């Protein structure tokens, strides 16, 4: 029975996308868990041309055995299988990602690389209805707008990995219990889904504690939340279309380091679209800062709609927004600014904790102590703002100092495993403009560089699982400072 319900659902989803069996294969991500195993079984029964793809995250000792098990299943079903592997933990460290984010990035990259290679008609992944509910709830708890609340989509083209190959989730409407029942009825033997400990901890807590509790409080809540996501997805699709049209209307110029809007056109847009235009501009300039946060967007709109005495503000994320006549200019700090606008320092100064040190041109470095090292570790991992850093002084002695670089001085940027570079080379790599380099402020402790503001902190001062006390550092510009220049 479950057999038939689930089978029918998957068949209908795919029939809608492929009215006839495609010539090109479907590339299916197969972890070996119940979801992907059941989907694989159904696709085989439907006679779709297939390539299975298994990705080893190298996070667990038994991951190699999982790959072998998937290999046996694929061989038995006569489905060609490709195997991939990468060091997720290292990728997470290098790019300041959570383990979950890093796993996701590498896994999808692998799937779409293989899809390209096999000229696949689509990439299929086996997220189920419970996954959808967990995703929506996770976004809700962590802060989301409409986009986050729509969860995952059944069909996505374009998607972050391809403009031409769609990503399809053919069991997004099927509950975990139904999939398990399907596996039982079809005598499939799924691998136990050993999720990792880090961010998955949060998802696990949702799955095993919060969702059952919410469901007890309001029976049927999971089904309704799934429906809510479905309703919101249509709303989002419409707003995305409207945003794209509005972008074409209001954008005068969009380059890698700045975006200009026509101000009267911008202010005529409804608030919902003004917010999305700002977020889209921020994403253009800071592709890694996936979420221009609520506060940043509000600051931007308050500034734009406010009295025009102030001509320029610092938005955070290393971005500034200015009004120049009929034009709104959103620019990255690496855009060609007058030298007078850079954070600069000519003589060494102490940076007290807590406290601040004044720089030139209205900039200030602030430091404060945080007792909760592990909380800071999570914040630091999620941070995309180059003007913020969190450090662990360890055994080293205060005070912190701020000073310009010294000739030949070296620096171990976080993410290179302790490898050191010349500060001058680092600044060239990072495109700090030549005229700003010699006066650029460095935060130091005991002679060592702790942080180059605007970039990552130093490897020896990184937060670890053992970190207790943390110092939070921030480079800010005083309100109105730019007015004076």
Residues binding a second copy (CB under 8 A): 140-146, 149, 202, 205-206, 209-210, 213-214, 217-218, 220-221, 224-225, 227-228, 231-232, 234-235, 237-239, 241-242, 270-273, 275, 294
Task: Answer whether 395's CB lies under 8 Å from 379's CB.
Answer: no
Q: How far is the CB of 363 from a second copy (least distance, A)?
A: 28
Q: How far is the CB of 132 from a second copy (least distance, A)?
A: 14
State the distance between the two ends of the chain, measured CA to CA, in whole angstroms: 74
Q: How far is the CB of 211 from a second copy (least distance, A)?
A: 11
Q: How far is the CB of 12 from a second copy (least distance, A)?
A: 12
Task: Kindly give the residue spans of alpha helices, DSSP state H, lying in 430-485.
Answer: 434-437, 481-484
Between 219 and 399, CB nearer to a second copy: 219
Task: Answer whether 145's CB lies under 8 Å from 236's CB.
Answer: no
Between 4 and 227, CB nearer to a second copy: 227
Helix (H, G, I), strand (E, B) or coil at 400: strand
Q: How far is the CB of 355 from a second copy (least distance, A)?
A: 23
Q: How far is the CB of 194 from a second copy (least distance, A)?
A: 22
Mark residue 38 as left, alpha or beta (left: phi above 0; alpha: psi -120 to 50; beta: remaining): alpha
Strand partners, 477: 363
Task: Round to whole Å and give the CA distance between 415 and 459.
Answer: 7
Between 85 and 146, CB nearer to a second copy: 146
Q: How far is the CB of 265 from a second copy (least distance, A)?
A: 16
Task: Answer whether 169's CB lies under 8 Å from 35's CB.
Answer: no
Between 95 and 201, CB nearer to a second copy: 201
Q: Characterize 227-247 residue by residue with b for buried, 16 or more Cβ atoms within 10 angstroms of its Cβ, and e for exposed.
A: ebbbebbeebeebeeebeebb
Strand partners, 156: 167
Strand partners, 84: 55
Q: How far is the CB of 381 from a second copy (least distance, A)?
A: 15
| Nearest one of 415, 376, 417 to 393, comparing CA atoms | 376
* Cβ neighbours of residue 391 closer than 8 Å, sequence gap 6 or more: 450, 451, 457, 458, 461, 462, 463, 470, 471, 473
Helix (H, G, I), strand (E, B) or coil at 97: coil
Q: How far is the CB of 98 from a second copy (least distance, A)?
A: 14
Between 237 and 348, CB nearer to a second copy: 237
Between 1 and 217, CB nearer to a second copy: 217
Between 1 and 271, CB nearer to a second copy: 271
Between 87 and 368, CB nearer to a second copy: 368
Q: Characterize 45-65 residue by residue with b for buried, 16 or more Cβ atoms within 10 angstroms of its Cβ, and e for exposed.
A: eeebbbbbbbbbbbbeeeeee
CA quadruple 320, 323, 329, 333: dihedral, nearest 10: -20
Q: How far is the CB of 227 from a second copy (least distance, A)?
A: 5
Between 1 and 216, CB nearer to a second copy: 216
* Burial category of 157 from C-beta neighbours within 10 Å (exposed 0-12, middle 13-18, buried 19 and up): middle
Between 177 and 227, CB nearer to a second copy: 227
Residues in the chain: 485
Task: Round to whole Å and give the CA distance between 127 and 184.
Answer: 19
Between 297 and 367, CB nearer to a second copy: 297
Task: Answer whether 27's CB lies under 8 Å from 111's CB.
Answer: yes
Residue with tokens 């005529």: 268
Between 75 and 234, CB nearer to a second copy: 234
Task: Round to whole Å and give the CA distance between 274 and 243.
Answer: 9
Q: How far is the CB of 195 from a second copy (least distance, A)?
A: 17
Strand partners, 350: 401
Q: How far is the CB of 228 from a second copy (least distance, A)?
A: 6
90 vs 33, 94, 96, CA distance in Å? 25, 6, 10
88 vs 102, 106, 221, 453, CA distance in Å? 6, 7, 34, 27
């Amino acid at each position: 029975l479950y057999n038939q319900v689930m089978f029918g659902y998957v068949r209908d989803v795919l029939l809608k996308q492929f009215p006839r069996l495609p010539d090109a294969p479907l590339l299916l991500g197969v972890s070996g868990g119940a979801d992907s195993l059941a989907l694989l079984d159904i696709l085989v029964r439907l006679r779709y041309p297939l390539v299975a793809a298994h990705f080893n995250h190298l996070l667990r000792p038994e991951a190699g055995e999982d790959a072998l098990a998937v290999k046996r299943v694929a061989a038995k079903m006569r489905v060609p299988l490709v195997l991939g592997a990468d060091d997720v933990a290292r990728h997470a460290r290098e790019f300041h990602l959570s383990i979950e984010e890093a796993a996701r990035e590498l896994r999808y990259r692998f799937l779409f690389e293989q899809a390209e290679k096999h000229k696949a008609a689509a990439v299929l992944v086996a997220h189920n209805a419970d996954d959808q509910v967990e995703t929506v709830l996770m976004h809700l708890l962590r802060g989301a707008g409409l986009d986050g609340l729509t969860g995952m989509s059944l069909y996505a083209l374009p998607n972050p990995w391809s403009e031409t190959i769609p990503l399809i989730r053919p069991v997004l409407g099927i509950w975990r219990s139904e999939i398990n029942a399907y596996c039982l009825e079809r005598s499939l033997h799924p691998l136990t889904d050993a999720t990792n400990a880090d961010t998955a901890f949060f998802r696990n807590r949702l799955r095993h504690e919060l969702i059952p509790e919410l469901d007890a409080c309001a029976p049927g809540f999971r089904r309704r939340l799934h429906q809510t996501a479905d309703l919101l997805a249509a709303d989002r699709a419409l707003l995305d279309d409207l945003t794209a049209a509005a972008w074409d209307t209001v954008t005068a110029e969009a380059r890698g380091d700045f975006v200009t809007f026509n101000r009267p056109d911008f202010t005529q847009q409804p608030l919902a679209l003004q917010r999305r235009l700002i977020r889209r501009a921020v994403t253009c300039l800071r592709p890694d800062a996936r979420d221009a946060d609520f506060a940043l967007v509000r600051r931007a709109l308050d500034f734009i709609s406010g009295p025009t005495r102030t001509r320029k503000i610092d938005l955070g994320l290393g971005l500034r927004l200015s009004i120049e006549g009929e034009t709104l200019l959103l620019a990255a700090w690496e855009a060609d600014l007058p030298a007078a606008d850079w954070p600069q320092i000519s003589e060494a100064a102490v940076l007290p904790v807590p406290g601040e040190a004044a720089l030139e041109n209205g900039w200030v470095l602030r430091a404060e102590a945080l007792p909760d090292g592990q909380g800071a570790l999570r914040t630091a991992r999620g941070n995309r703002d180059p003007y913020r850093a969190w450090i662990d002084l360890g055994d080293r002695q205060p005070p912190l100092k701020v000073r310009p670089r010294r000739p030949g001085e070296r620096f171990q940027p976080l993410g290179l495993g302790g490898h050191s570079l010349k500060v001058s080379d680092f600044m060239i790599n990072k495109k700090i403009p030549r005229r700003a380099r010699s006066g650029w402020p460095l935060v130091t402790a005991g002679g060592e560089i702790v942080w180059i503001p605007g970039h990552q902190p130093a490897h020896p001062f990184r937060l670890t699982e053992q970190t207790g006390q943390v110092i939070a550092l921030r480079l800010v510009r005083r309100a109105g400072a730019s007015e004076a220049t």
